[in-house]
Amino acid sequence: MNLYLDVHGETVSERFDSHCENGQEVLTAAESGFIHCPVWTDLPTVAEIIDLANNQREHYIRLPCLIGMDLRWQQGPSQIHALSDDALRCMVAFQLTYGAGNTPNWFTHLVVEYPTLVAEVLIDYAGAALKTKQLHIDSIYQLEHDPDYRMVAIIAVPVILKHFPVRSKANHLRYLEYLLKAALCYHIDQLPMLLKKKMALKSIDVAQKVYWLTVGMLFDPGQYEPALWQYIGKSGSSLLHMGDRVKIRHKSQI
């Protein structure tokens, strides 16, 4: 990785040998410690992990646990399955709040094999991130774009949409778009009722209402297309431009 100028080597073992005496012994001991981090008896709760992240902080055991999960995955999926559900929830929360690098293989494995568990943590994490107006919300993009997330999306999307703040940051509109497209893609049964409830809220902001009406127009054009254009007509030419953009985007990408 070459993060330090005085540590050299192509492999982890070579870098340990470059950094200290008895490098292989130190590496073996370190890996053993990392592997045992996910079974630590005093792991933080999912709520604590999320709260720390939303305050731009992290639990000191997060990175050791994530390294431990990578090492466990290298030993085989059985080492992941051996963890308790509570431990796995913590690991999912650690990964969601980490926000750096590519999605590790062990996490994708959990998405496929433990979709309910992953969805439960994602719902809590995304809800808190939206409420506290975080700039980045992990794994929402994948709900629409990654087929591996299908079951997670079916479980999580309607709940996240239900609690999506009706007045949110402008940069959160892209997350609303991902969620709505996932709901359409996977034929989320709750979508018509969610749409009806959102449209009944007088406090919903202009951009969100256009997004919701556009979605309604796609699965029930007879009811929602007139409502969409009527709303745009009342809201001025700038909103008309935005409505056209949203309409084209949905028709071309869904």
Give 72-119 pLDDT, tens digit per residue.
999 999 999 999 999 999 999 999 999 888 999 999 999 999 999 999
Same domain, yes or no: 19 and 69: no
- Return the axis-axis angle of helices 105-113 and 62-75, rounded to nearest 10°: 80
Residue 127, phi then psi, degrees to nearest 5: -60, -45
Same domain, yes or no: 133 and 207: no
Same domain, yes or no: 196 and 89: no
Same domain, yes or no: 45 and 22: no
Same domain, yes or no: 163 and 88: yes
Same domain, yes or no: 29 and 47: no
Pairwise CA distance, residues 143 & 73, whole Å = 23
Same domain, yes or no: 79 and 150: yes
Same domain, yes or no: 154 and 75: yes
Give the distance from CA 226 to its chain's centroid. Answer: 34
pTM of the model: 0.85
Please tell me the predicted confidence (pLDDT) of residue 86.
98
Please tell me the predicted confidence (pLDDT) of residue 168.
83
CA 158 → CA 16, 163, 181, distances in Å? 48, 9, 12
Please tell me the predicted confidence (pLDDT) of residue 254.
44
Tell me the residue range of the domain where 181 lies. 40-189
Please tell me the predicted confidence (pLDDT) of residue 90.
98
Same domain, yes or no: 185 and 198: no
Query: Would you say 213 and 231 are in contact if contact means Cβ atoms under 8 Å apart?
Result: yes
Same domain, yes or no: 70 and 91: yes
Helix, strand, or coil (residue 147): helix
Please tell me the predicted confidence (pLDDT) of residue 246.
53
Picking from 154, 170, 189, the residue at the C-terminal end of a domain is 189
Q: How many separate domains does the chain show?
A: 3
Same domain, yes or no: 184 and 208: no
Please tell me the predicted confidence (pLDDT) of residue 60.
94
Burial grade of 122 (CB within 10 A; 0-12, 13-18, 19 or more): buried
Query: Would you say 93 and 50 are in contact if contact means Cβ atoms under 8 Å apart?
Result: yes
Picking from 145, 167, 189, the residue at the C-terminal end of a domain is 189
Name the residue among 195, 227, 200 with its Cα closest to residue 212: 195
Picking from 154, 189, 224, the residue at the C-terminal end of a domain is 189
Please tell me the predicted confidence (pLDDT) of residue 9.
59
Same domain, yes or no: 181 and 216: no
Low-confidence ranges of the chain (pLDDT < 50): 1-5, 237-238, 240-241, 244-245, 247-248, 250-254
